[in-house]
Amino acid sequence: MKLAKIVKQCRIDKPQHFKLADHDPAERFGLSTDIEDVKPILAEGTVRMEELQQRLNADGRWSVLIVLQGMDAAGKDGVIKHVMSGVNPQGCDVHGFKAPTPEELAHDFLWRAAKVVPARGQIGIFNRSHYEEVLVVRVHPDMLRKQNLPPAATGKTIWKHRFKEIRAFEHHLARTGTVVLKFHLRISRQEQRQRFLARLDEPAKRWKFSMNDVVERRYWDDYMAAYEETIRETSTDYAPWYVVPADHKHVAWLVVSATIIEALEGLKLDYPKVAGTALEELKKAERALRAEK
């Protein structure tokens, strides 16, 4: 199956009908189970993304925001490592969103995301994001008490209002030149268990494991319900969600890579044209350089 068709299958264009259960975490789209078979495709994507990033930076009118959300061990770090390996670090920033700091809790829930959106010509990656506020906070509503919100802001309509505020925030970004791409890395509960066990078996990876990871598995169904409603409420034409099967890591890498490349190509990026007086100045500089002994 062509990558463009796979990307289209993962994109949520009709969110009102979205059901998480319709998206198999182990789907391979006909791709090989052997990562070695897809490495050449990944390598081609790396080269293409490097070229497109240069054009993005030179063009200077657009930025790209990549949002990665998923359960623990879904492969968010792996996507960044393998998909963005060819990107110039000077043009790409990664921000991890963990538990809010006291300063962040003193502001509205979108503040910490808004202050680190990518500048024009740059790529920004949110490893988790503002969506934590309608996912983990929804599953653990006691976290709301730490946010010191007025009573009127914590009623039954809080999630409805937060979805509306997220849509407005992302619409503002899109209208002012930020391409927003949101990926839910969908992993099965069984695959997450296997990855946790693999971490425990390998000394070099044990530091990644926390007992809280096991505790959170008890809330699996609650998280799935929260993800389903979140995607249904916030997948838009200007900031779409892509539900990416992540049980096979290399499948997730290919889907994310192809999606980013497709979005960048859609911008019709090009290098600025030098003409007129500026071109004459360049020619003058060239003549001076060639005349040097």
Distance from chain centroid for Cα 266: 18
Cα–Cα dist 87/80, whole Å: 10
**What is this structure's pTM?**
0.94
pLDDT at residue 1 in the model? 66
Cα–Cα dist 260/195, whole Å: 26
pLDDT less than 70: residues of the chain: 1
Say which residues have a Cβ less than 8 Å from residue 88's Cβ, sequence separation at least 6: 50, 53, 54, 57
Q: Kindly state which CATH superfamily the domain 3-291 is placed in.
A: P-loop containing nucleotide triphosphate hydrolases (3.40.50.300)
Contact status, residue 220 vs residue 139, Cβ threshold 8 Å: no
Contact status, residue 148 vs residue 207, Cβ threshold 8 Å: no
Contact status, residue 187 vs residue 74, Cβ threshold 8 Å: yes
Cα–Cα dist 84/287, whole Å: 40
Contact status, residue 121 vs residue 91, Cβ threshold 8 Å: yes
